[in-house]
Amino acid sequence: MLEQRYRWKNKDLREHVEVLDGSKAPTILLHNAVYLNQYLRKWTKANIWIYDDRIVYVGEKYPDDVEGCEVINCEGRFLVPGYIEPHAHPFQLYNPLTLSQYTSKYGTTTLLNDNLMLFLQLDKKKAFSLLKELRTIPATMYWWCRFDGQTELLDEELIFTHGEVKAWLEHDAVLQGGELTGWPRLLDGDDMMLHWIQETKRMRKKIEGHFPGASEKTLAKLMLFGADCDHEAMSGEEVMNRLMQGYTVALRHSSIRPDLPKLLKEIQELGINQFDKFFYTTDGSPPSFHEEGYTDQLIKIAIDSGVPVIDAYNMATINIARYYNMEYLHGNIATGRVANINFLSNEKNPTPVSVLAKGQWVKREGECLPSKTTINWKDFQLEPLELEWDIDAARDFEFSMPFGIEMVNDVILKPYSVVTDVSFDELSYKDDQCFFVMIDRGGKWRINTIIKGFANKLSGFCSSFSNTGDIVMIGKSKKDMVLAFNRMKELGGGIVLAENGKISYEMELPLNGIMSTKSVETLIKEELELKTLLEQKGYRFNDPIYTLLFFSATHLPYIRVTQLGIYDVMNKTVLFPSIMR
């Protein structure tokens, strides 16, 4: 379990010292390097010796032996540590490997990842085997441990057991517990969740909050329970409230909350000019949000917002490393650290022209080098869906509930009364009401209702991408909804649109119906095409991927569609239970 954070054996450490003694040559020498020294808070000139994946020396000395060493003259370049994403959800159509390959090109070479999909989709042994496999890639992957499924699950107590959660917490690649989407349960007396928090703190690991709209008093209570950080501040005042209670604050800039410019402006107006307790996150945005880059874009926003340049870089590097107690490995360019280094054209342009990740070139003078890493996903139970059931339209498409769900924005749902007759096989295209069906992936239960506000011209739509992996169908035409479902089933999982008896769009998601094996660049094109088609069908919001993900997410108000049924979040009650098929 210690291989992730303590990866050099005694033999390796002896070799590193031999490089300094001159009996071995470095593998890479960065000569005349101007780099960001965060301890001095200044740009400093030095020679940087790298041996395999580790920086073995930073200073004025030149190696005695450079035979076989790649010597790089860094004149005209500015070097900064590889960027760190502290709050990644690596299952937003992309998978952990393809996400890391993409982010590394933009300088983000370390990611702390949500484990929710692994927790729900894989058994522990397979999940931990995948974590071990991901240690071999150039990027560095760390993880969180969830304490709840951010929805109402059937048999949740059999999924989030003490043994399962504790095993994840004990894994050395796991650096924190959370995010605490189920914090209302904690406040209401959930002692098991509190015990897991205490176990996390006993292991000297962090607790990540998820506290949108929390009052000052609530923030104080959650700090007393053990929370360390929160990424849900949506204004400068909310940032200040968190700082006052002792939180580290992750400043979010995501597809549904692109708040960073506003947050930076407002915190500076409040007189906050110390940035040591801040870092950035993109909060698991879908592929198209990252079309121009990743963490580098957030650093650029900070610089353009008047944040001192060194602080702008620190919020993506050393601040995060110090928070997670891994400064000895990441977040700075110094002896002993992992050789994650970004080469910049100038100090105010954080998009790197070259990138080293674990001492390997992933980008060189603007050219992205092809990745040699592959994963046999079947070895980890990540395979195409095999649904052993079919849709029976006469039985599965009964819509008699006088109660529907209405979209307020991308992710917020509210209840509404269904007053029109929806007993037909096709709904009118004159309004924005559609049939909505969620069916258990195993075919055991279903929920039927009407959704208002999703689209007004959508004939048939089916997605296996959802928070729980259950199947979502939406549309005006039952016939085209069945057609979309059947095509999704043939694909082994995916997102499919059907119209007038024909398939008009499909996105294949062969990894348990949740993730693609395609590159993020390809997924950006596919997602943008999906968004365009849905907008033509009347989808008036910005992020259909998050809409699909959060239909069942009970950490958001007001009404959710969960495995238990239509759920009232505020009152914590099931309004209409799911129906057994």
On the question of a cis peptide bond just before residue 85, with omega within 30 degrees of 0, the verdict is no
pLDDT for 339 equals 98
Mean pLDDT of 76-90: 98
pLDDT in tens, 512-559: 999 999 999 999 999 999 999 999 999 999 999 999 999 999 998 999
Q: Is 48 helix (H, G, I), strand (E, B) or coil?
A: strand
pLDDT mean over 6-15:
90
Kindly report, residue by residue over 487-514, the tens digit of the pLDDT.
999 999 999 999 999 999 999 999 999 9
- Mean pLDDT of all residues in the chain? 96
Phi then psi for residue 509, to 5 deg, are -125, 80
pLDDT at 372 over 90: no
Please give the C-alpha separations between residue 226 and each of 168, 197, 319, 334, 338, in angstroms, as whole numbers: 18, 7, 20, 32, 30
Residue 6 pLDDT more than 80?
A: no
Tokens in use for 480? 């085209």
pLDDT digits (tens, 9 = 90+) for 398-436: 998 889 999 999 999 999 999 999 999 999 999 999 999
Looking at residue 220, what is its pLDDT? 98
Q: 357 pLDDT band (50/70/90 cuts)?
A: very high
- Report residue 1's pLDDT band, with 50, 70 and 90 as the boundaries: very low
What is the structure's pLDDT at 401? 85
Q: What is the pLDDT of residue 7?
A: 78
What is the DSSP code string of 73-117? E-TT-EEEEPEEEEEE-TTSBS-HHHHHHHHHHTTEEEEEE--HH
Over residues 255-278, the mean pLDDT reads 97
- 309: number of CA atoms within 13 Å, CB side? 12
| Res. 161: pLDDT tops 80 | yes
| Confidence band, pLDDT 50/70/90 cuts, at residue 2 | very low
The average pLDDT across 303-319 equals 98
Q: How much is the average pLDDT of 281-292?
A: 98
pLDDT tens readout for residues 35-59: 999 999 999 999 999 999 999 999 9
For residue 312, the SS3 value is helix
What is the band of 12 on the pLDDT scale with cuts at 50, 70, 90? very high
pLDDT of residue 279: 98
Give the model's pLDDT for residue 371: 87
How many angstroms separate the CA atoms of 67 and 61, rounded? 16
Phi, psi angle pair for 116, to nearest 5°:
-60, -50
**Mean pLDDT, rounded, for 170-193:** 96
In eight-state DSSP terms, residue 136 is G
pLDDT computed for residue 438 by the predictor: 98
pLDDT at 5 over 90: no
Q: Which of 322, 330, 270, 260 is nearest to 296 (CA)?
A: 260
Q: What is the mean pLDDT of residues 206-217?
A: 97
One DSSP character per residue, 481-530 reads: HHHHHHHHHHHTSEEEEEETTEEEEEEE-TBTTTB-SS-HHHHHHHHHHH
- Answer whether 0.95 is exceeded by the pTM: yes
Give the whole-angstrom CA distance, residue 304 versus residue 452.
Answer: 40
pLDDT of residue 483: 98
Which structure tokens are listed for 128? 């931990």
Q: Are 464 and 494 in contact (CB under 8 A)?
A: yes
The whole-angstrom separation of Cα 41 and Cα 213 is 35
CB 381 within 8 A of CB 134: no
Please report which confidence band the pLDDT of residue 207 belongs to, taking 50, 70 and 90 as the band edges.
very high
Residue 370 DSSP label: P
pLDDT score recorded for residue 102:
98
What's the mean pLDDT in 377-392? Answer: 96
Q: Is the predicted pLDDT of residue 3 greater than 60, yes or no?
A: no
pLDDT tens figures, 115-132? 999 999 999 999 999 999
Residue 4 predicted with pLDDT over 80: no
Between the alpha carbon of residue 424 and those of residues 406, 434, 516, the distances in Å are 20, 12, 36
Tell me the per-residue pLDDT of 226-249, one tens digit each, with 9 for 90 and over: 999 999 999 999 999 999 999 999
Separation between Cα atoms, residue 103 and residue 84, nearest integer Å: 10
Please state the rounded mean pLDDT for residues 88-114. 98
